[in-house]
Amino acid sequence: MAKSFENLNRELIDYIAARDRISIKSSKMNSQLEKYVLLVITEILNRVGQIRYVEMLYTITKELAINGIKANQKRIFFEDEGLDITNETDYAKGMISYKSRFSDSMANEYGKRCLARGIYVVLNFNYKPSGLSVEVINNTPVLRAEETRMREKMKKAMGYNDIAEFYMDNMDNTEGAGLGIALIMILLKNENVDPNLFRIITQPNQTIARVEIPFKDDYISMRSKEAAASGH
């Protein structure tokens, strides 16, 4: 017999209380998953006494998850259209078709197809009293053109403290994902979190978007550990 939602909630609360890490894997984003992610974030932050970050962290995590899931579904859409997503001409043509035709029902169907093909996004939460990290790992590589746009938006967003101002200044050349990247950095800045603790790491077979939130001065970020390990 299926467990009740209340029992699942209780088990999740107990799980988070007993560990310092939890992962969620999905090929689509829907209201049920959004509620589950919000519950996870709320319980984690409640455990470490940082409940004030719930709204910001949920907004950031949801944005990154949606970006990753859309990127995966977009790849299958391009295959269906017989277009090479890595070709500039095909990409421009495909994006026009994708934006005009893609719908919620298609997103649900493409989510199932991604799942069947083993294409997914993993949300990793690591938490302790001194700080927290969220990694959204997409098991497909980011396109070079999209990575360039994202990094341009990250660089531009450093000069803004207001998302509406950023949007007005960049409304002619900002795609949804670009606006989302700027939103994340501005949210971090407004909570006095170093925006450099938001990173996009590209690898041959996956893309990792990571946000870290220090709670105490003794928190050592993954970014600083990686820099030390590489000698930089």
* pLDDT tens digits for range 109-139: 999 999 998 999 999 999 999 999 999 999 9
- Percent pLDDT > 90 in the chain is 44
- Can you give the residue ranges of every domain in the chain? 5-74+121-216
* pLDDT tens digits for range 12-32: 888 898 999 999 999 988 888
Q: Cite the DSSP H helix spans in the chain.
A: 5-18, 31-47, 54-80, 88-101, 104-116, 144-157, 163-170, 176-190, 222-230
Here the tokens at position 150 are 């994202």
- What is the value of pTM for the model shown? 0.88
> How far apart are the two ends of the chain, measured CA to CA in Å?
54
Q: What gap in Å lies between CA 158 and CA 197, rounded to an integer? A: 12
Pick the CATH number of 5-74+121-216 from 3.40.50.10140, 1.10.10.10, 3.40.50.1820, 3.30.565.10: 3.30.565.10
Cβ–Cβ under 8 Å, residues 216 and 130: yes
Q: Which of 77, 139, 63, 64 is nearest to 107 (CA)?
A: 77
